[in-house]
A and B are shown apart, each in its own frame.
Chain A
Amino acid sequence: MHPAPSVILFSTLSGLGFGLLAFLGLGMPSPTGFGAFVWFTLAYLLAVGGLIASTFHLGHPERALKAFKQWRSSWLSREGICAVVALLVMAVYGAALFFADTRIIPLGYIGAALSIGTVFTTAMIYTQIKTVPRWHNITTPLMFLTLCIAGGALLSGRVGLAIPLLILAALAQIAHWIVGDRALEKSGTTLATATGLGARGDVRAFEPPHTGTNYLLKEFVFVIGRKHAFKLRVIALTLMALFPVFALMFTITGGLPGMLIHLLAALAVVSHLLGVLAARWLFFAQAEHVVGLYYGKR
């Protein structure tokens, strides 16, 4: 699948933003006054920034409002609705903290659930796609959700929670890679079933429909970077989980000056963000769409 930068940025940034919103909703931390303003601005910049980035890959972004209509069948529609409702609920919750120094606890819990729900709907957009066997399994929502929650814990400074959650997210990511690498083969879809000619003998793509390329090949048969996939996976995992976990462990050993602790925490967040970006790029670049089979490719 073609790794569109807007979609990678969206799922990474808004995943982190909604993770932070969830922790704010749960009261971890529970800032008031100016502190609340800073925390909520950060969370909204990430979540809304990601959502805006996602509209860049639309052919007609001016019609985006129409996407709220089909929640009964479409995960993309559900995602849009869930995101807007989560942002509105958390805006009320944040405004009460900022203006009135009041924590409306049930509203925060609802907002947290909606924030996590938004990331779940994002994951389901990919999981539902049967034509991409690498995505069409339970490891996709597990990976999206654990990364969102771990990122939220890291960004909100819950060191004790962030360390085990980051390890859990790394395990989910590894599981997604292991299951995904065998998914196309296990799906049973081959050029033989695609053409229905398999019973006659070995089928080989002899001549493509056109000498040039087309939308299908550009969108679904993206092979650049696959040869470096293993190295990129190691880099992604190191940046996403390994370095942040070690950095956080340093910060709790004690005896470090406050400045250094803050620097380490900031480095851990930046590293995590870069690692997730790399993993998300691979999520698309490595995904094989079955339509490639018609072209003798994968």
Chain B
Amino acid sequence: MTTLPTSTDRKLGLVIDLDTCVGCHACVISCKGWNTENYGAPLSDQDPYGAAPSGTFLNRVHSYEIQPTDAPAQLVHFPKSCLHCEDAPCVTVCPTGASYKRVEDGIVLVNEQDCIGCGLCAWACPYGAREMDTTEKVMKKCTLCVDRIYNENLPEEDREPACVRTCPAGARHFGDFSDPESNVSKLTAERGGMDLMPEMGTKPVNKYLPPRVKDRDRSEDVDILAPFLDPIATEPTGFLGWLDKTLTTLPGGKT
């Protein structure tokens, strides 16, 4: 059914801490590792060891540079996967009902047996969260590791998405946003968790925590009393002054 549910019982999703992410890409690898051999069709690679490798990934880490007007540039690593939007445009455009949002937990999934591979859902997604698999010709996307989080065959500590489980920096958090007391709701409230492209009206469930404002070395800054201090010598004196004068008189010394 490609009409969206009016509300979901739970709102499972991720909080991604841009302050903590070190850009190691471990989440990219563990995501591909888990999802290529579990839910649905495998995630194929094309020319993996050749000159022009490419492949299907459900999670990719970008890096951005921020240049503030009055501080040094800052590098931000930026993992990006499906945001499991409340108003998911990818779901409503699907002609077959293969794309759907689950009423019980809000996870957006693709039923690959019904996917005709038209690609329209990937067109509708502003975040690039859906990728058509070149080999399988069906749409692949983040399942929030639906086959891990409810999997009673796994030890309890493994019942979270592979990307969250593997993150060595603890930059990824998994939980239920419908519960105001959950870890993800608290983190979002404390740290000002934000939406990506809010103007698109997709109401993403996943939130991003902005990087904290950095301290910086202010020892080189000009003091406000500087104008009242003695001017600092710009001409060399003593031995260096003699050397400067002598070398200037030699041929080729004047420039």
Interface residues of A (CB under 8 A from B): 1, 57-61, 63-64, 66-70, 72-77, 80, 125, 128-132, 187-189, 191, 193-197, 200-210, 212-216, 219-220, 289-291, 294-295
Contacts and interface: CB of A to CB of B under 8 A. Distances in A.
Contacts of B201: 130
A58 B139 CA distance: 11
A256 B76 CA distance: 72
Interface residues of B, number: 67
A290 B74 CA distance: 24
B57 interface: yes
Interface string B93-109: 11111100000000000
Most chain A Cβ neighbours within 10 Å, of B62, B71, B80, B211? B62
B123 A201 contact: no
A212 B48 CA distance: 10
Given A63-B114, A132-B123, A215-B131, A70 B62 contact: no
A200 B68 CA distance: 6
B119 to A, nearest CB: 7
B118 A200 contact: no
A178 B220 CA distance: 51
A208 B62 CA distance: 5
Contact of A74 (B53, B74, B95, B122): B95
A206 B61 CA distance: 11
B123 A207 contact: no
Given A66-B114, A70-B95, A201-B66, A194 B132 contact: no
B contacts with A: majority SS = loop
A188 B200 CA distance: 10
B116 A196 contact: no
B231 interface: no
B22 interface: no
Nearest to B131: A215
20 contacts: A1-B123, A59-B115, A70-B97, A73-B92, A128-B124, A130-B89, A130-B201, A131-B200, A196-B210, A197-B64, A197-B210, A200-B74, A205-B62, A207-B63, A209-B62, A212-B53, A215-B122, A216-B122, A220-B123, A294-B127
Contacts of A196: 194-196, 208, 210
A130 B200 contact: yes
B120 interface: yes
Nearest to A207: B63
A208 B60 CA distance: 9
B1 to A, nearest CB: 8
A130 B85 CA distance: 15
Contacts of B54: 210, 212-215
Contacts of A125: 120
A131 B124 contact: yes
B200 A203 contact: no
B249 interface: no
Contact of B96 (A69, A129, A200, A208): A69
B96 A197 contact: no
A44 to B, nearest CB: 23
B96 to A, nearest CB: 4
Interface in B156-181: none
Given A193-B197, A193-B198, A291-B127, A64 B94 contact: no
Interface in B174-225: 194-201, 208, 210-211
A61 B64 contact: no
B234 to A, nearest CB: 33
A122 to B, nearest CB: 12
A264 to B, nearest CB: 40
A72 B127 CA distance: 25
A196 B17 CA distance: 13
A59 B66 contact: no
B75 interface: yes
Contacts of B65: 203-206
Nearest to A194: B197
B197 A204 contact: no
B38 interface: no
A64 B114 CA distance: 9
Contacts of B126: 130-131, 189, 194, 290-291
Given A196-B208, A202-B66, A291 B94 contact: no
B64 A203 contact: yes
Given A189-B126, A207-B63, A216-B128, 6 more contacts: A59-B137, A63-B114, A131-B123, A195-B76, A210-B54, A294-B128
Contacts of A212: 52-54
Contact of A204 (B67, B93, B199): B67
A254 to B, nearest CB: 50
A89 B98 CA distance: 30
B151 interface: no
A58 to B, nearest CB: 5
A29 to B, nearest CB: 35
Interface string B113-147: 01111111011111110011010111000000000
Contacts of A187: 199
Given A76-B95, A207-B63, A220 B210 contact: no
